[in-house]
Amino acid sequence: MIRWSVRTPLILALFLACLLLSPGLSAAQKFDWQAFKGTSIRVMANKNVSGETIQSQVPEFEKLTGIKVTYETFTEDQYRQKVLLELAAGTGAVDVIQTATAQEGLKFWRSGWYEPLDEYLKNPRLTDPAFDLNDISKPALMGNTYDGKLVALPTTQQTTMLYYRKDLFEKHKIKVPQNFQELEETAKKLHNIEDGGQKVVGIVLRGKKAAATSQWAPYLFSMGGTWLTKDGKPAINSPEAIKAFDLYGRLLRNYGPPGAVNYHWYEAVSLFVQGKAAMYTDVSNRIFFFEDPAKSQVVGKIGYALFPAGPAARRPTMEVWSMAVSSKSKKKEAAYLFVQWAASKDTVLKIHMKGAPSVRASAWKDPKFLADQKHKDWIEASLKSLDIASTEWNPPVVAVSEVRDEVGAVIVSSILGEDVKAAADKAAAEMAKIMEKTEGK
């Protein structure tokens, strides 16, 4: 109990004054980007649009903070190998990594390699008041959260969408497919039609084993399927998954290009920019190939639409790239400043303008972006997809690559017209064995 005296008001006044003058508690205190001036950090990133755009802005960060940055980029396969070796070594030689949590997140989290960022975000000494976490897509943040801990700040997202030849649709008086039934009917109508002296296939999709799994995922979810059952067992042989395999394989087998089982995204994009396919479902950044006059023969002829709905839902997927602090870093606070800056409104807008779709709502509304991006249907489809997309474009397991191989084998079987149920049952059994070896918690 407080014993009041003539000195009590004076003591309280002094106590409140101390609170107001304490670091991080003064409303008038300005956030200090220079708090770790003179520190050096090492960053590793993928050689993608996001990673390279951030790299080009590093001098700006160094000027802002006084922190020296060694920034290394590698092609994706090489990058994943190098990051894995660095983090497994546990030396703390790398401070910041670029990460796609749907690919490696569960493994990295259970290995203790991610530094949780929640307390950093709450700390007014470390987080700029202008950062605005509420501006970032909620699904993207949830996709970077494990056991209630946010492990990375997202910078870019790519959602699945439907690309279609507007000119062919108008010529043949065809409406944009809104569901799977209409998608298949449209593929059938437009398959093998003549256009400019060449035949056009009804649809192109990825068909190359593991490479196809991320683009098969929205078909799975829209059929009402999941990667895993509620008790964590493989669900890739459920009735919903079988329907998704059947549809995906049937589309490519009946209305796709010859040799579709060899199609990665490179081959699919190449066919589409040559005007040899009427439709294509894949990630949303493909627009920058289609509308490039130096690479594309279909500039101005492409329409952009939401991924079609399945019997259960319209559920595209979202591929998110983020920046994370290594838990072994010896300079975590300086590393966090870099991660925060890389995911800030200004930096993310620059990435967005370079062609990697943003996780920030403000970037999509920015006047510079709206003046530059003429394809309003692409913007509309992207924004609507953000609200409904799943970040589980890969199976939520530790051994992602091994499980993708098993799922991809079923996709190939379906394309070839083989027994999908038998292939899915076999893949589910193999997936269970893989998980038994790798899912130690």
pLDDT digit string (tens) for the chain, length 441 residues: 333 333 334 433 433 333 333 343 343 357 899 999 999 999 999 998 899 999 999 999 999 999 999 999 998 889 999 999 999 999 999 999 999 999 999 999 999 999 999 999 999 999 999 999 999 999 999 999 999 999 999 999 999 999 999 999 999 999 999 999 999 999 999 999 999 899 999 999 999 999 999 999 999 999 999 999 999 999 999 999 999 999 999 999 999 999 999 999 999 999 999 999 999 999 998 998 999 999 999 999 999 999 999 999 999 999 999 999 999 999 999 999 999 999 999 999 999 998 889 999 999 999 999 998 889 999 999 999 988 999 999 999 999 999 999 999 999 999 999 999 999 999 999 999 999 999 865
Q: State the burial class of residue 313 (Cβ atoms within 10 Å of its Cβ: 0-12, 13-18, 19+).
A: middle
Measured distance CA(153)–CA(164) in Å, rounded: 33
* Of residues 25, 108, 44, 130, the one with CA closest to residue 82: 44
Cα–Cα–Cα angle for 167, 172, 177, rounded to 5 degrees = 80
Q: Using CB atoms within 10 Å of the CB of residue 366, give its burial: 0 to 12 exposed, 13 to 18 middle, 19+ buried.
A: middle
Every domain of the chain and the residues it spans: 40-158+319-386, 159-317+391-438
* 3-state DSSP of 347-398: HHHHHHHCCCCECEHHHHHCHHHHHHCCCHHHHHHHHHHHHHCECCCCCCCC
Class of 159-317+391-438 per CATH?
A: alpha beta
What is residue 338's predicted lDDT score, i.e. its pLDDT?
98
Question: What's the fold here for domain 40-158+319-386?
Answer: D-Maltodextrin-Binding Protein; domain 2 (3.40.190)
- pTM for the full predicted model: 0.86
Q: What is the pLDDT of residue 29?
A: 52
